[in-house]
Amino acid sequence: MARELSTILSECVNEIATKKVVTEYTRPWINGELSSQVKHLRKLRRKCRLTKSPRNIFEFHNVQRETVDMIKKSENDWWLSECDKLSLASDSEKWKIIGRLTSQSGHQSVQPIRKTIDGNSVFLFSDADVRKVMEDYHIRKVRHDVNEEDHTQCAFNHGNEEAINLSLESEMNSDITDQEVKLTFSIGTNAAGPDEISASMIDKAEREPMHRCLTIFWNRASMSGILIKQWKDENRIVIPKVGRDDYHECSSYCTISIISALGKRFEYITAQ
């Protein structure tokens, strides 16, 4: 019974151990020999830290130079093997190989985008062309003409909005209170917008003077009735969707917009 169990465990270990899990941090040129060399180098480094004798330091530097040479050779061999595959690979596979050669983090950047021009399928490579196509797809939506029924519904909605606006006019023109400003702290992510002011910069500042400044600042913006232009700016990030077979289409990407933390919190108050 023990022998059978040992055999089964050994088979399971051999099967699992031979499978390599590839992540965004994986370096495909790191083989078993190189991995063992790196482990040996780490042991020598710990040994050198504990006992900084001339012998330990000399041994560590020698192994360090050997390891660097091995990594460079292994990486160069991997590059050459990937380049050899290009001549036999299909068009879709070629782009995957080029992606691996140019970026080891996988599909973390935008690939050349395919676009149909005059009936011909072409690839856009320049940043300006790719950005324009992405903006047209994700930001600028196609607006259809409004039909007569839509005009009637819009007029009805407009009448309701006028009645609502009259009842809320006094409330909208009131000053932003200290309590409303207080509730904005610790709201939103820490990613800074185009103005490079992050949420943590606001939250970690001395609370009383920051609270007073925000109250005056937002009240002036509210009374003027004009949203500050810089608050409309955004940093838009393009992120590849996971599991797509073709990354040459705009639909294979999603976008995340990061705006000013000051503008976002001001909108939070006015939306209440």
In-domain check, residue 152: no
31 assigned to some structural domain: yes
* Residue 148: both structure tokens together: 């007569």
**CA distances, 269 to each of 49, 150, 197, 222, 272 (Å):** 56, 32, 18, 10, 6
100 lies in some domain: no
Q: Is residue 252 part of a domain?
A: no
pLDDT for the residue 171? 53
What stretches of 29-147 show up as alpha helix (H) in DSSP? 32-50, 54-86, 91-102, 127-138
Residue 66 lies in a domain: yes
Domain count, the chain: 1
Residue 246 lies in a domain: no
84-121 pLDDT, tens digit per residue, is: 887 787 766 776 777 677 654 444 567 788 888 888 88
Q: Tell me if 50 is assigned to some domain.
A: yes
Rounded CA separation 176/168 (Å):
15
82/170 Cα distance (integer angstroms)? 69
Evaluate whether residue 176 is within a structural domain: no
Q: Both tokens of residue 37?
A: 């060399």
| Amino acid code (one letter) for 62 | N
Low-confidence stretches of the chain (pLDDT < 70) are: 1-26, 91-92, 95, 99, 102-109, 141-173, 188-189
